[in-house]
Amino acid sequence: MRQNRLVPRIGETLREARIRQSVDIAEVERATKIRAKYLRALENEEFDLLPGPTFVRSFLKTYAEHLGLDARVLVEQFRTDHEGVPDEEPAPAFGSRAPPGRRREPVRYDRRSPGPGLLVGGAVAAVLVLFLVLGLTGNGGDQPPGGGGADVEQSAAERERAERRARRRAQQRRERPRSVKLRITPEGPTYACVDRGEDKTPVFEGSLTSPRTFRGRRLRLNLGRPTARVRVNGRNVDLGSEGRPVGLAFSPTKRPRPLPLSQRPCV
């Protein structure tokens, strides 16, 4: 295995380009669908951590193109430095030559068909290789393998977020009030009229001198003095500061709605 010291190493070229662009490994993983452990292996030149030379070249090409590098140059550098070129065949030793005049015996090959055990072993090996390739290529098409794990993790995170949103919506529906609880606390004798809707018989009309609570699916209030304290489903209601009589309509899920004088109860 030969390394040209005048040419930057493959891993250094990738790492420097990524750092120069202020990109982290996680961003490259999402963009290229190549697992982070394979990206780190390329930068550290730990090529034996990848499934094989074919995948190294494929990952290297995708990573280099993502960083804007010349992928062809890096792939050729990998071929030269790490795949190697077969050395020349050494000249046969002197003692290996047949003595002059002696006829060399022809090589005879056994033409018998392979046994059933060898055929079964070959079939099992082919199936294992097929499963390995399918497991590494989770995206299909010409896209480099290695992104299946990232896609699965991203899908699981999206499902978890969707489940949390569904649980929050269900909890909000459970907590949403279905009726109105109206409590009036007067500071002094205060006229009040309360009914459950237009054309409904008032549930109360008169002068309030002490706190009182009313309940209903919908309630309407005509209050003579806005100095009283009004709470609906545990929340204070702003009665304004004009000092005039107040008319309000209440429902379980909406804000109090002001009522004009002609629509107030007991008018």
Domain holding 66: CATH number?
A: 1.10.260.40
Which residues partner with 205 through β-bridges? 193
pTM over 0.75: no
Domain stop point among 39, 57, 83: 83
Pinpoint the alpha helices (H) of 146-249: 148-175
Residue 197 lies in a domain: yes
Cα 35 from chain centroid (whole Å):
15
Residue 113 lies in a domain: no
CA–CA separation, 122 and 124 (whole Å): 5
Residue 147 lies in a domain: no
Range of the domain at 241: 180-263
Residuewise pLDDT in 10s, the chain (267 residues): 444 445 678 989 999 999 999 999 999 999 999 999 999 999 999 999 998 889 999 999 999 999 999 999 999 999 988 876 444 444 444 444 444 445 555 545 455 555 555 565 666 677 676 656 555 544 444 445 545 556 667 788 888 899 999 999 988 777 778 899 999 999 888 889 999 998 889 999 888 889 999 999 899 999 877 778 899 999 999 887 777 888 999 999 888 999 998 889 888
In this predicted model, what pLDDT tens digit does every residue of 87-96 receive, in sequence order? 444 444 444 4
Question: Which phi and psi (to 5°) does residue 113 adopt?
Answer: -70, 150
CA–CA separation, 221 and 195 (whole Å): 7
* Number of compact structural domains in the chain: 2
Domain stop point among 83, 98, 128: 83
What pLDDT, on the 0 to 100 scale, is given for residue 151?
Answer: 66
